[in-house]
């Protein structure tokens, strides 16, 4: 992971941890994992996945950060392991000069993601409950 984008992952993983604290009392029997991957196409792909204990089915909240031709793109979705999108979260597209100048807009995006997760908690909980 690029050192310059580490701030995004630290904040995103904190949002995922906060969300887990709200949802786990309801979904205690489902396994979960917070993780991050990155490559040349995706400087960061963060996820919070939930896996059914008996079925092995999975649903994940993913956040993808892309840089293409000077444009920063961030998208969030909740997806099932078959690729079906359950709900789409906030998205951002803006001109990109460097990570330092993009930090404020990234912070605003992360706040909108946090708000989205809390607003959609019943839909997300319902989808996770179908994994048990």
**Domain limits for position 114:** 3-129
pTM above 0.85, yes or no: yes
Q: Which two tokens stand for residue 57?
A: 């089915």
Q: Which two tokens stand for residue 52?
A: 């059914």
Q: What is the pLDDT along the chain (132 residues), one digit of tens a residue?
A: 577 789 999 999 999 999 999 887 666 678 899 999 998 888 999 999 999 877 778 999 999 999 889 999 999 999 998 999 999 999 999 999 888 889 999 999 999 999 999 999 999 988 888 886
Euclidean distance between CA atoms 72 and 95, whole angstroms: 6
Three-state DSSP class for residue 27: coil
Q: List strand residue ranges (DSSP E) for the chain, in order.
A: 31-37, 44-51, 58-68, 71-80, 85-95
Total tally of structural domains belonging to the chain: 1
Q: What's the Cα-to-Cα distance from 38 to each of 2, 16, 46, 111, 115, rounded to whole Å? A: 9, 18, 9, 22, 25
């Amino acid at each position: 992971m690029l050192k310059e984008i580490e701030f995004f992952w630290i904040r995103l993983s904190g949002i995922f941890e906060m969300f887990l604290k709200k949802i786990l009392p309801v979904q205690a029997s489902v396994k979960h994992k917070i993780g991050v991957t990155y490559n040349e196409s995706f400087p960061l792909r963060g996820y919070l996945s939930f896996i059914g204990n008996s079925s092995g089915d999975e649903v994940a909240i993913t956040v993808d950060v892309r840089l293409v031709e000077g444009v920063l793109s961030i998208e969030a979705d909740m997806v099932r392991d078959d690729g079906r999108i359950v709900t789409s979260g906030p998205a951002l597209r803006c001109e990109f000069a460097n990570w330092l100048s993009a930090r404020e807009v990234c912070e605003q995006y992360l706040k909108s993601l946090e708000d989205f997760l809390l607003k959609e908690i019943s839909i997300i909980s319902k989808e996770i409950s179908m994994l048990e």
